Amino acid sequence: MKLFIVIVFIAHIIVHIQPFQIDDLKLTTCSDRQLSLQALIKRADVILSATVLSVKKFKSYSDFLEARISIRRIWKGEHLIPSRRFGQLTVQGIANPSICHSRAVEKDTKIFLLKLLKDGRIQLDSSLLSINLANLDAVSAYVQACYSILLRSLPVEN
């Protein structure tokens, strides 16, 4: 009987250690599944790759989390990131059920598609992307296309 109680107690602890595995539910209510990767990249104000340093509750009454991240590379919106002290940034909206893959854990390195809120905070805009060749190519292609359009629009000096 004591062994059974210990097993139940340990199972209870294990279940509550990882309470934010929303991605595992494969929710159909997430809004970013309806858009292509190119559309999500275009919509984002800031695109960067970063490693998650810590994840904590945003406010005591909120179910959402915020993550402290260490920035590796910025593809888009560098001028929008306020006071990048020590190359770190706080991102809100982690574990948001309306975003398909928004769960982040410490030491994850992902591509973050972010939006700048009116009050200056930065929030997750769509699913966290794994760092793989397809995702890196998609982000790089978008940035290169924007850069070449910008260059073509500049006046040519003779």
Q: How many angstroms separate the CA atoms of 109 and 5, rounded?
A: 38
| Residue boundaries of the structural domains of the chain | 21-153
Say which residue, 58 or 65, is predicted with more confidence.
65
Asked whether the whole model's pTM tops 0.75, one would answer no
CA nearest neighbour of 37 among 139, 155, 121, 146: 139
Average pLDDT over residues 75-90: 80
Q: How many angstroms separate the CA atoms of 70 and 73, rounded?
A: 10
- Residue 84 is predicted with a pLDDT of 61
Q: Could you please report the per-residue DSSP string of 36-53?
A: -HHHHHHH-SEEEEEEEE
CA nearest neighbour of 116 among 72, 74, 67, 78: 78
DSSP state of 80: G
CATH number, domain 21-153: 2.40.50.120
